[in-house]
Amino acid sequence: MEAIQEHAPFRPEIAVVLGSGLGGFTESLSCNAVLQTASIPGYPHSTVEGHKGELAFCTAGLRRTLTFRGRVHFYESGNVNAILFPIRVAAALGARILVITNAAGGVNRTFVPGDLMLISDHINFTGETCPEPGASKSRGALYDPQLIRIAENTANQIGVRVVRGVYAAMKGPSYETAAEIEMIHRIGGDAVGMSTVLEVALASSLGMRVLGISCITNKATGTSSAKLNHEEVTVVAHQVREQFSRLLTHVIKALPPA
């Protein structure tokens, strides 16, 4: 923490975690400092394409924002604490709102690649739990209903299509089988990925308000005849970068005071 605090130009109000291929969001912001995670002692290192590994202290409008470009997945390290490290950093630096994003496969048959899904709830299929005391206790909605409404209203105002849905997290790194996707569909999942749920559980236990956004980068196995690969995920995320960045910038400006 000392190495980060030494270079932090301000105490952030809002923390943003950027998923696969979505790191270009910071290019639209005014950034005061950018730290390479490789230069921070003890910071977990991402090995997945599309996760650059940077902490950027930026402003969106007048909102002080700490942006994490990339994340570590459980399948990379097998260490829950590595996944949760950025959330602990954000909370320790003072961020009270977390905007967490990911790339996800569309389980809901009405979703198409390029859709942006506001996460209303999640299903944790990872078999892992957040070790923070109190993280498993009920505190109401994990994803803040007011922040979801703000995001929906903002999207309508600027003409960006958004949908709502439930995010299901699997451990990975293999993509799900058609039978697994059918199971997720039957129990109410709308999108599937390999992140987010443990980070959100920790953020909620630390008193942070959470807004989650999934970029639907592909149709999940069994809902399309196409074969899945990570390159497709990053390509689609890049294609929707402009509208994703526009939505995220306007949403951050509209969020309530932290």
- The answer to whether residue 43 is catalytic is no
Domain range list for the chain: 2-254
Considering the four listed CATH numbers 1.10.10.60, 3.40.50.1580, 3.40.50.300, 3.40.50.10310, the one that applies to the domain covering 2-254 is 3.40.50.1580
- The answer to whether residue 194 is catalytic is yes
- The answer to whether residue 230 is catalytic is yes
- The answer to whether residue 51 is catalytic is yes
- C-alpha separations of 64 from 56, 69, 91, 96 in Å: 11, 16, 14, 11
Helices and strands (H, E) in the chain, number of each type = 8, 9
Site of tokens 């196409």: 226
Catalytic residue among 13, 15, 20, 220: 20
Catalytic residue among 13, 15, 56, 76: 76
State how far the Cα of 10 lies from the Cα of 63, in Å rounded to an integer: 11
- The answer to whether residue 20 is catalytic is yes
Catalytic residue among 15, 43, 51, 208: 51
- The answer to whether residue 60 is catalytic is no
State how far the Cα of 215 lies from the Cα of 237, in Å rounded to an integer: 7
State how far the Cα of 187 lies from the Cα of 70, in Å rounded to an integer: 29
CA-CA-CA-CA torsion sign (187, 190, 196, 201): negative
Question: pLDDT 10s per residue in the chain (258 long)?
Answer: 777 888 888 999 999 999 877 777 888 788 899 999 888 888 887 766 555 688 999 998 889 999 998 788 888 889 999 999 999 999 999 999 999 999 999 999 999 999 999 999 999 999 999 887 666 555 678 999 999 999 999 999 999 999 999 999 999 888 889 999 999 999 999 999 999 999 999 999 999 999 999 999 988 876 765 665 556 666 776 778 889 999 999 999 999 987
State how far the Cα of 199 lies from the Cα of 43, in Å rounded to an integer: 16
